[in-house]
Structure 1
């Protein structure tokens, strides 16, 4: 990166600096940016944590996180010492006014030492209950006043329903300008997610067919093998619909469905995303069961190991009715997508870890080939793979070698690691650098956050009133409840299996055949 592209001098303040998010994601990402030369010469990370936390203990804790989660692996002595010289720690009781005055004094001291004004980033890596007191504390200490240089970063969950999101927006909007507020969703920092727009809008062969005339349906799948792990306290109050679909999956849907922006200005891009959310068809309460399915995993076998059910997980109510699986069918009612269903599903303790967007095209209007040539025919499909591998795959029909006419599906594929011969940067690296540069393209605006909640609020309301009687209704290690298969089957469609895993198996088989043939 050139020096001109680096951010201006920056002080990055992390509230909850000794917490899990800072340890696993934020500090390792900032360290990687530092190692790669993306940070300005004048930068400081100010961690704020509980009283009685010693700075030496804090730094040792951070180093353990960097050793485990940095792209660069275990830091060398010189590299770590250089990085640590930019770290500081402030003990504080965040419910007391003095904490924010002490922070203000510390930021003024740093800027005085630098002889330069700095971009001030306030990152709230804290539970939702602390958002209001911290935001108000910053405002009372006048740390929100530099409108062009002070930024506040809010992690998900952004509210727990539509009304709480509106309330949080009112609070933030009263104390900060909208351009100062960065509502972060780490999914939008992933390379393949960002590449959706590049793939669509930079390639003349795809954008003309990106509509209802050529696309049959779209599936967005986020499957996890893990259970709730250490997140039982949070997850049991949230569930799959709030935790994943309201933010991650709807954001991906917006990128797939949005119209081309006139420019790549952050507000222009976000305007197009909001248009998509407003175009999503309302779901009447009486029809929620036709558009949404929920599930909760019971005990089962995963990779030869027996795992407990959700209700047996730590910090989970033994009689919990929280869903760990959700599948939703949505329609975007506009000229481009009218009548094309978007199927979104996510779940924990499923058969595999996979995140991908599958775009299935309509069949050809007239089948020229004889039926015997089409025994293995499958629909054309474009797959945008987000994890565990990152890439784009296109499935199409080809004549199988030989004297007879037989069509078979084949895969054209692109993988980031193979094409660029390097590991994609972590999503948080991209997003943190954008925050420092004041680029809000990948962050949710207030109206976007509320519109996303508006899409799922009817489902939340009905599910709250009609409590499930069949939980748990799928075993760990399966692909979810039977009702989810019914949801898509009644439309004459099926859920796609992880295409990228199938592709990897095909590649392995090809290699075996090549060895045998030689």
Structure 2
């Protein structure tokens, strides 16, 4: 299958930090389909050779194991081309159309790695140029909008040019191997599905923690905040994967139908429940990995006296028969104690313990980063104390990198290959995305009306103490507190 892959925003950070390295890994692994071309377009004035040289320099900042050798890059660079494109100029889209028509590849993938406010104008110009035929796919990078209204407007323009099956709304967390294994864990095995319900599960906790600050992205982050940046998309997508009903098949729409049902079943927020069940914070100066770091207000390009949240923790419920009464806790933050993304499924304790003093519940930990894997925490017999059997916590540990050393692909590598192949399973449908915005809107509105609830937390901690109180109110604790 021949393909052309076009990156709008070809000189932007996303392209050279994530997308090109992911494509190179697919190329190195022999997974990139043959007979392909990669075109970067941007306003900068580069020739093909100058862009390739520029990109080679950027690859020096990629993690060492993922850097190409000179010989590897020379072969990879043969696929890469560059065109100067002003996104507001119709003639430039006609030139792009002519370039694509040179060989009329089986598939053309147009990846919009630009600011989301440019999505409508790009899509309109693509439609006017006739670059929306059935062999064309458009990939939309998050965030799609900054609220429900802006997301709906982007989707309206996209739908006016492309069909829903041509639109690939990307959420790179869905490309992580551990997230893909959620489907296999639940629907490919008979072990867990009978337990995956309110009678057996006490609570579910989703943590997306970062130890880094906002860096040089202070101006962007201050307009976004943790709720829009992580909860509305990544965390909610993980929640749907955990809570969804078994789909009728592995078809993309069958899966996305079930995810949408979960989003529609989430308990809606009111001003009162926002005040009770949502914690927001902003980091101040502290120490991370033994090094002093500044507070958010001291970061570059952050406005003085900003009220932007860099931490969110919240409690919600999925109001259906499977999950009624089970709390779901979501949290995310910058400058936390560790880089750690995981889902913890805490099971209920045994109804009656025959072992004195021991009734520690089991839990399943789904690790997303920095490593991918599963841990099943159990109790095992340790010996006797002279009178009674004593138990000790143990866990079964599955490290996916060790279990599948030759078959692992990164999140963006997987999603780019799926976009080229036309597989929509790991991409977000417009109604899913809009429902997620609909659910977070009451939180945003409550904060607009009253921003007095912003709590301070020390960099290098696990967030404001109120986040611990949020789960303690139900008799639970976060993993690091156990």
Aligned residue number for residue 428 of structure 1: 412
Match of 1:107 among 90, 100, 104: 100
Once the two structures are superposed, the pairs formed by residues 336-375 of structure 1 within 5 Å of their partners are 336-371=322-357, 374=358
| Counterpart residue number, 1:13 | 6
Whole-angstrom distance in 2 between the partners of 1:291 and 1:276: 19
Output aligned runs, 1:477-488, within 5 Å.
Answer: 477-488=460-471
TM-score (ref. length: structure 1) = 0.90
Judging changes above 3 Å, is the alpha-carbon distance between structure 1 residues 314 and 70 closer, same or farther for their aligned structure 2 residues? closer
In the aligned structure 2, how far is the partner of 1:464 from the partner of 1:431? 35
Higher alpha-carbon deviation: 200-209 or 414-423: 414-423
Displacement, 1:214?
0.1
Pair 1:323-2:316 in alignment: no
Q: 1:44 is matched with which residue: 20, 37, 42?
A: 37
* Partner residue in 2 for 1:53: 46
Give the conservation status (yes or no) of the 8 Å contact 2:286–2:294: yes
In the alignment, structure 1 residue 491 sits paired with structure 2 residue 458: no
Match of 1:406 in 2: 390
Q: Tell me, in whole angstroms, the C-alpha distance in 2 between the residues paired with 1:17 and 1:348.
A: 28
Structure 2 counterpart SS, 1:379: coil
**Equivalence for 1:502:** none
**Alpha-carbon shift at residue 496 of structure 1 (Å):** 1.3
- Asked if 1:270 is matched to 2:263, the reply is no
Corresponding residue for 1:114?
Answer: none
Match of 1:95 among 68, 76, 88: 88
Query: Residues 28 and 65 of structure 1 are in contact (CA less than 8 Å); yes or no, is this contact kept in structure 2?
Result: no
Q: 1:132 aligns with which of 102, 106, 120?
A: 120
Which position in structure 1 is the counterpart of 2:457? 474
Do the aligned partners of residues 432 and 296 (structure 1) sit closer, same or farther apart at CA in structure 2, a change above 3 Å counting? Answer: same
Residue 184 of structure 2: aligned partner: 198
1:86 pairs with 2:79: yes
3-state secondary structure, aligned to 2:352: coil
Partners of 2:322 and 2:197 in 1: how far apart?
5
- In the alignment, the residues of structure 2 paired with residue 283 and residue 180 of structure 1 have an alpha-carbon distance, to the nearest angstrom, of 33
1:22 matched to 2:15: yes
Superposition deviation, residue 367 in structure 1: 1.9
Aligned-pair CA distance for 1:402: 4.3
Deviations along 1:397-417, whole A, 9 cap, x unmatched?
A: 112134542222111111112
Q: Distance in 2 between matches of 1:381 and 1:439?
A: 33
Structure 1 residues 299, 423: closer, same or farther in 2, change over 3 A? farther
Cα drift, residue 33 of structure 1: 1.2
2:362 pairs with 353, 377, 380, which one?
Answer: 380
CA RMSD, 1 decimal: 1.6
CA distance in 2, matches of 1:120, 1:410: 50
- Judge conservation of contact 2:48–2:80 (CA < 8 Å) in 1: no
Distance 1:272 1:93, change over 3 A: same
The 8 Å contact of residues 277 and 452 in structure 1, kept in 2 or not, is answered as yes
Number of the residue aligned with 2:378: 396
Match of 2:479, SS state, is coil
Query: 2:149 matched to which residue of 1?
Result: 163
Q: Deviations over 1:325-355 (max 9, x none)?
A: 0011110011110110100000110111100
Query: How far has the Cα of 1:73 moved from its partner?
Result: 3.5
Q: 2:129 aligns with which of 114, 128, 141?
A: 141
d(CA) in 2 for partners of 1:455, 1:198: 28
Q: Which runs of 5+ in 1 are unaligned?
A: 1-7, 112-116, 500-518
The aligned counterpart of 2:202 is 216
CA shift for structure 1 position 248 = 0.4
Give, in angstroms, the shift of residue 460 of structure 1.
Answer: 0.8
CA distance in 2, matches of 1:73, 1:334: 44
- Worse-superposed segment, 285-294 or 254-263: 285-294
Return the match for 1:441 from 413, 417, 425: 425
Deviations along 1:301-338, one digit per CA (max 9) or x if unpaired, are 12221110001101111210000000111100111101
Residue 451, structure 1, aligned to residue 435, structure 2: yes
How much has 1:422 moved relative to structure 2?
4.5
Contact conserved, 1:23 with 1:61, CA < 8 A, in 2? no
Q: What is the SS of the residue equivalent to 2:203?
A: strand
- Whole-angstrom distance in 2 between the partners of 1:480 and 1:339: 26
Distance, in Å, in 1 between the alignment partners of 2:253 and 2:264 is 16
Q: Counterpart in 2 of 1:415?
A: 399
Report if the CA contact (8 A) 1:416-1:422 is conserved: no
Conserved? CA contact 2:206–2:331, under 8 Å: yes
SS of 1:13's equivalent in the other structure is strand
Instruction: State how far apart, in whole Å, the 2-side matches of 1:258 and 1:357 are.
Output: 15
Match of 1:121 among 109, 115, 120: 109
Q: CA deviation at 1:241?
A: 0.5
Whole-angstrom distance in 1 between the partners of 2:87 and 2:470: 47
